[in-house]
Amino acid sequence: MPAAMDDVGRAYARGRAAYPRLKVAEEVFRRHYARAVGAQRQRAEKELAVEDLYLACACAAGVAGAAAAFEAKYSKILRRAVSRVLSNPTERDEVVQSARKSLLVGSANADPKIGMYTGQGPLEHWVAVAAIRLAISHGRAEGAERRLREKVIDDALGGDPELLMVKGEIRQELQAAVKDALERLDDRARLVLRLWLVSGSTLANIGKALGVTQQTVSRWLADARDQIFTDVQRTLADRLKIARDELPALARLLSSQLDISISRILGT
């Protein structure tokens, strides 16, 4: 325990040195540090973005000057992240303001989200991802969802009446299976699916937002969709006791419904 306390003391000193005008009480920082590290006490101090953690603690605690320090350092990052998702300037400004409020102020029912930052990686990356997620939520794509809905209708018109009847019968089971499959995906895969299916972002814009090539995004999307497709098909076959000779019809159903089901679940 003494060594751990020394680690916290050194981290506090580094934070104070980086932000000498932000006077966070040492006990407040110790509690914040303990929550951030959690059960991973074995992680060395050098592995944490200690200065960023100190600033996040100051913002979460409402220390005088902390919000201004955050704004000076991360305002451009917020705007850049939001602009990668939303093209309309008015919408961008609205989401940037919402992001500031969500991160630094919170609401009657929620503390400032900046308090969730744990120092695992630079704060600027965490802020960018948080802003992207808010932008996705804001621009949840009436247009994207409409395109998906139209695609489903087009697919359905080419099917047979029996398949359309099956669609109505297993819709709830399908939604539940897709939800379970999404929960088994990693965070990156879910984020990419949100950007593509919910916000309607292009592959190129997603690649820019995440710092990878368009080809990499395309591969991530294909892998995530294949994983969900296989997972859901297996789940439905088990739950509904579907015979082997009926699996092709189930596969056609999933092909026509999968993207809209993913979009509805991620959109909420």
pLDDT of residue 3 exceeding 50: no
16 pLDDT above the threshold of 70: yes
d(CA 96, CA 78): 7
Residue 40 to residues 85, 116, 120, 152, 186, Cα–Cα distance (Å): 34, 16, 11, 46, 20
Q: Is the pLDDT of residue 106 over 50?
A: yes
State whether 133 and 157 are in the same domain. no
Among 17-26, 97-106, 114-123, 127-136, which range has the highest average pLDDT?
17-26
Total domains in the fold of the chain = 2
Residue where a domain terminates, one of 138, 161, 191: 138
In this predicted structure, the answer to whether residue 4 has a pLDDT above a threshold of 50 is no
Question: Do 6 and 112 reside in the same domain of the chain?
Answer: yes
- End of a domain among 80, 111, 138? 138
Domain match, 132 and 148 both: no
In angstroms, the CA 214 to CA 106 distance is: 35
- The answer to whether residues 92 and 156 belong to one domain is no
**Rounded CA gap, 67 and 60, in Å?**
9
Distance CA 203, CA 138 (A): 19
Predicted confidence (pLDDT) per residue in 249-258, tens digit: 667 767 767 7
Which candidate, 264, 170, 262, places its Cα nearest to that of 225? 262
Distance of alpha carbon 65 from alpha carbon 10, whole angstroms:
22
**At 141, which amino acid appears?**
A
- Do 155 and 109 lie in one domain? The reply is no
The pLDDT score that the predictor gives to residue 53 is: 94
Assess whether 20 and 133 both reside in one domain. yes
pTM: 0.52
Identify whether residues 176 and 59 lie together within a single domain.
no
Q: Residue 25: pLDDT above 90?
A: yes
CA 261, CA 254: separation in Å to the nearest integer? 9
For 107, the 3-state DSSP assignment is strand
- Mean residue pLDDT of the chain comes to 79
Domain check: are 8 and 91 in the same one? yes
Q: Are 224 and 185 in contact (CB under 8 A)?
A: yes
| pLDDT of the residue at 26 | 93
> Which of 91, 118, 138 is at the close of a domain?
138
Contact 231, 217 (CB under 8 A): no
Of 16, 100, 110, give the one whose Cα is nearest residue 57: 16
Query: Which residues lie across from 107 on neighbouring strands?
Result: 110
The amino acid at residue 52 is D
**How many angstroms separate the CA atoms of 218 and 26, rounded?**
47
Please check whether residues 158 and 234 belong to one and the same domain. yes
Q: 170-208 pLDDT, tens per residue? A: 667 778 888 999 999 999 999 999 888 887 788 888 988
The answer to whether 37 touches 26, Cβ cutoff 8 Å, is no
- Which tens digit of pLDDT belongs to each residue from 142-152? 444 444 444 44
State CA 132 to chain mean position distance: 8
d(CA 127, CA 101): 13
> Are residues 132 and 146 both part of a single domain?
no
Q: How confident is the model at residue 56 (pLDDT cuts 50, 70, 90)?
A: very high
pLDDT tens per residue, range 214-241:
899 989 998 998 999 888 888 877 877 7
Same domain, 61 and 96: yes
Residue 197's domain spans which residues? 142-267
Report pLDDT for 98.
Answer: 87
